[in-house]
Amino acid sequence: MEWTDDGIVLGTRRHGESSAIVEVMTRAHGRHLGLVRGGSGSRLRPMLQPGNTVRVVWRARLDEHLGNYAVEPLRLHGASQLAASHVVYGVTHLAALCRLLPERDPHPEVHDHLTSILDQLDEPRIAAVEMVRFELQMLAELGFGLDLGSCAATGSEDDLGYVSPKSGRAVSRVAAAPWQDRLFRLPAFLSAAVAPSSEDIADGFALTGYFLARHVLEPRGIAFADAREGFVAAILGRRSVARSAQ
Amino acid sequence: MPKATAGPEIERLIQLLARLPGLGPRSARRAALHLIKKREPLMAPLAAALQTAIDKIEVCRTCGNIDSQNPCTVCTDPRRDPSVIVVVADVADLWALERAEVLNARYHVLGGTLSPLDGIGPQDLTIDALVSRAHDPAVKEIIVALNATVDGQTTAHYITDLLHDAGVAVTRLAHGVPVGGELDYLDEGTLSAAIRSRTPL
């Protein structure tokens, strides 16, 4: 068995003294693990940092084997990402989100979106908007997509301002008026091309956080990694650090 | 099934030696043979040293270092500057910095770095102890000397956030071109970090 694909490194786990098991988000083969001989050594370790794009050649005798990766660098921005806290937290959180997907299940749109976010991670506001969109995309890929295109009550596609926590559907401002305090605010950047305010960004993460926790994390008995709160706090200029279990 | 070439005691010794870093089954066999041949001058003192280590070595309750006294030699050394704490991931990092002899500070060993992949969260590290040490009025600077990896720097930023209210200066090690490194062989991320951290000549 052999294939070649481009992928984004999500994480590395030391294996033995010098090798590493590397987790890569590939376009055609999904989230895929493989053994990199010498992957814990000083030559390959910089290349195998999360967020780097590499070309992998996977070889194994049988399809169900872990297999060996031969890796070649394509885009190494790992080291340049280390200085900004929102970038480091962002990369860690993106990797944690990708880990929600089943192994070896192709999600080319997720791969493409991931590539696009990593390219824009230096710009905090753009990164925040794209992160909210990525979380929405993850919900959709996992079968819990939100319907933010039309009002659940009136069917209208205009003046959408809220989201129902029960149905995950958008609600127009008029229809939401009696229950505003029980609904999530729909950030304007999700329905129109507008510059996001800090409030919009916080609303976006509150929205996706609620549905990810309810549909994906809680059924699996896991919680958000601290990196998510670190990312949001760094973007919004807050200094709060989650103390929750990973 | 291969025939046994030695008694169970020797096989057990070889198996245990093979679990040491840097030793495979073949080199463990050589080491075992060497120890058996040098029973009096080497094997007995080694066994005694191992037993003493088991009995006496502890993790320092202040900094997380390992030593035969608690608090450790580093923490009790009055010549060390009590105003600077160097945060390292592991005891091996502490030893590396001590070998370099560039610091006369005290240390704090975290016991690893945050790693969602390995399931290591803040509760698995000695971060709370570090925060309480940082609130000591005698402490003026915390040097975060963690690996230049995404896990290491995520931990560094996490610690920096927690220390924000402690009233101490938080610094980190520089990232860039290693001594002996050739620019042609460096990845673009490291080069970009080096350019950003350039200093006047």
User: Same structural domain for residues B25 and B99?
Assistant: no
Same domain, B94 and B27: no
Domains of chain A (ranges, CATH numbers): 2-76 (2.40.50.140), 81-236 (1.20.1440.120)
Residues in chain A: 246
In a domain, B190, yes or no: no
Tens digit of pLDDT for each residue in B113-157? 998 777 888 999 999 999 999 999 999 999 999 998 889 999 999
Give the gap in angstroms from C-alpha A89 to the nearest C-alpha of chain B: 6
Does one domain contain both B51 and B78?
no
What percentage of chain A exceeds 70 in pLDDT?
Answer: 95
Please give the torsion angle defined by the CA atoms of residues B75, B79, B85 and B88, in that order, rounded to the nearest 10 degrees.
Answer: -60
Residue with tokens 């033995």: A16
Q: What is the Cα–Cα distance from A7 to A51, expressed in whole angstroms?
A: 10
Domain assignment of residue B163, yes or no: yes
The verdict on residue B185 lying in a domain is no
Which pLDDT score, from 0 to 100, does residue A192 have?
79
pLDDT at B43: 95
Q: In what order do the strands lie in the sheet with A169-172?
A: A147-151, A169-172, A160-163, A184-185
Residue B48 belongs to a domain with what CATH number? 1.10.8.420
Claim to verify: residue B108 and residue B33 sit in the same structural domain? no
The answer to whether A124 touches A132, Cβ cutoff 8 Å, is: no
Q: What is the pLDDT of residue A243?
A: 45
Q: Do B72 and B41 belong to one domain? A: no
Chain B residues with a Cβ under 8 Å from any Cβ in chain A: 21-22, 114-123, 148-151, 153-154, 157-158, 160-162, 164-165, 175, 187-190, 192-193, 196
Question: Do the strands B58-59 and A184-185 form a parallel or antiparallel pair, or are they unpaired?
Answer: unpaired
pLDDT in tens, A69-123: 999 999 887 666 787 889 999 999 999 999 999 999 999 999 999 999 999 988 8
pLDDT tens-place string over residues A197-233:
999 999 999 999 999 999 999 999 988 888 899 999 9
Do B13 and B100 fall within a single domain?
no
B175 closest CB neighbour out of A13, A73, A79? A79
- State the DSSP H helix or E strand holding residue A206, giving kind and residue range, or none if neither: helix A198-212
pLDDT range class, residue A195, cuts 50, 70, 90? confident
Question: Which chain B residues contact residue A77 at CB under 8 A?
Answer: 188-189, 192
- Mean pLDDT per block of 10 residues along chain B (201 residues) reads 77 93 91 95 96 94 94 94 96 95 94 86 93 95 94 92 92 89 82 86 86
Do residue B88 and residue B168 come from a single domain? yes
CA distances from B72 to A70, B50, B93, B133 (A): 44, 19, 16, 15
Strand stretches in A47-154, DSSP E: 53-59, 68-75, 147-151
Q: Is residue B123 part of a domain?
A: yes
> Count of domains in chain B?
2
CATH number at residue B118: 3.40.1360.10
In contact, B43 and B36? CB cutoff 8 Å: yes
- Residue B110 within any structural domain of the chain: yes
Of the pLDDT bands very low, low, confident and very high (cuts 50, 70, 90), residue A245 is very low
In whole angstroms, what is the distance from residue B65 CA to residue B136 CA?
19
Are B116 and B163 in the same domain?
yes
Tell me whether residue B146 is in a domain: yes
Residue B61 domain-assigned (yes or no): no
pLDDT of residue A246: 36
Cβ(A73)–Cβ(B187) below 8 Å: yes
Q: What confidence score (pLDDT) does residue A79 get? A: 65
The four Cα atoms B70, B71, B72, B78 give a dihedral, to 10 degrees, of -140
Same domain, B27 and B72: no
Q: What percent of chain A has pLDDT over 90?
A: 67
Å from A16 to nearest chain B CA? 9
In the numeric block, which tokens belong to residue A11?
């994480």
Q: What is the average pLDDT score of chain A?
A: 90
- The CA-to-CA distance between both ends of chain A, in Å, stands at 36
Question: Model ipTM?
Answer: 0.80
Q: Are B83 and B29 in a shared domain? A: no
The Cα B154–Cα B159 span in angstroms is 9
Please indicate if any CB of chain B lies within 8 Å of the CB of A22.
no
* A238 vs B: CB within 8 A: no
Q: Tell if the CB–CB gap between B117 and A23 is shorter than 8 Å.
A: yes
What is the pTM for the complete model shown? 0.84
Residue B130: domain span: 66-172
Q: Per-residue DSSP letters for B12-77?
A: HHHHHHTTSTT--HHHHHHHHHHHHHTIIIIIHHHHHHHHHHHHH-EE-TTT--EESSSS-HHHH-
Q: Does one domain contain both B49 and B70?
A: no
Q: Does A36 score more than 90 pLDDT?
A: yes
Given pLDDT bands bounded at 50, 70 and 90, which one contains residue A178? confident
